[in-house]
Structure 1
């Protein structure tokens, strides 16, 4: 009897250790800025690569982690993304975003939104709608692709290789409208333009009749942690108004980012 109890205790202890190690890996993926190799994961958690490989394969089978075929590196899956999503919606900066979003609406007359990175998507965290009868709405919690939205391009422009390549490999470049950029070369030129002008532009690439302008908000680490955007019908976000609208987004985004970085 004593032997059986001891074996059960050892089995239980081993199971607890496995859970602890798996949760360590989940934490590493949750805070990572891109896909990771087994050796990188092993260094992060202080475990042998063989042990990490076995645990990661379990996380892949459960949908918490995905593997990129070309590089064989691992990234955030739907399971971890869902956890991140719940956390993002509770971020403190979403609570004091209201005044900045309101200021952008007052300055431009168009809908203002706050978004964050959510795996290979962007997620809207907060919004103040335009008062116009015809207006754009980005409901809180909505997920949108990265390659064809202004908020998404802001994050892509901040990515480095191989993170950018692997994200696009996994997410794809699906055409949602005739204006959607579906070639890697065209999107790369667009991201270079984001760097050059300081903001991203969606010219009816996600939804016909809608244009968006977005800027990245950088945290204390220097990385883009969220995006501030303006969305409106193409008839009002006209070519003539874009410079002034973009300037308003950049100025208000700059003030917002400063507040975010305050201790």
Structure 2
């Protein structure tokens, strides 16, 4: 004799399946290094494109996913970025950051920060301010643009070309100061310098009178997963001091990243 299933049980099972599928998609987006099409998502989760499209639309309405206007592909929204940020802060780089930030402040005398990617922005996870009366600080938890900050540039420089194209098309190149690079060609040349020299420089591009240097911290996959930076007033970071500060942030950043990759 066939066993009957109550409407309540059937509805509960359907809800659980929908939640499982949505979590699958969130995991795929969180691991991705670029925007994804519905067909690509469907292939990865083994579901019909129509089903995946419905789930993605729901995730978009909740802020977990965004759609890029030019390609119509989908990428990480603030919801997923916030989860990633919280996990980094609680379990990963955040808990190991303090001694490296202290070392950077001690060596350079400037404010040291740890930042992570936050959708199409960067966000500061931890910070240790400079001991001087005159110092630069960026409030922890505040999103900042990628194209005109040192921490943002190290992420952009690590992006594949398709992801870079989508990110810049979505976020734009807004001028924060007269020094901001707002021309695509100029920014691409700048990102080439970042890849070549191993660090990024924000030369009054986000805030006038302020210079920042940053390096990317690479995880076990080889991708940049966080950024270590120092910031200070222009008066204390003249041109002739940049090589010294760059060397310090690269050396301490390398130690930090190696510690994070150790099993």
* TM-score for the superposition, normalised by structure 1: 0.94
| In structure 1, C-alpha distance between the alignment counterparts of 2:231 and 2:91, rounded to whole Å | 23
Deviation per residue, 1:49-69 (Å, 9 max, x gap): 221112112222232211112
Deviation per residue, 1:59-90 (Å, 9 max, x gap): 22232211112111101112222322322321
* 2:89 and 2:95 in contact (8 A); partners too: no
Show the 5 A alignment for 1:1-263: 6-263=6-263
Moved more, 104-113 or 49-58: 49-58
* TM-score for the superposition, normalised by structure 2: 0.94
Q: Give unmatched runs, 5+ long, in structure 1.
A: none
| In structure 1, C-alpha distance between the alignment counterparts of 2:72 and 2:160, rounded to whole Å | 17
Q: CA deviation at 1:5?
A: 6.8
4+ aligned runs moved over 3 Å, structure 1: none
Q: Secondary structure of the equivalent of 2:258?
A: helix
Q: CA deviation at 1:168?
A: 0.9
* 2:121 and 2:143 in contact (8 A); partners too: yes
Moved more, 59-68 or 246-255: 59-68
RMSD: 1.6
Q: CA deviation at 1:213?
A: 0.4
Q: CA deviation at 1:4?
A: 10
Q: Give unmatched runs, 5+ long, in structure 2.
A: none
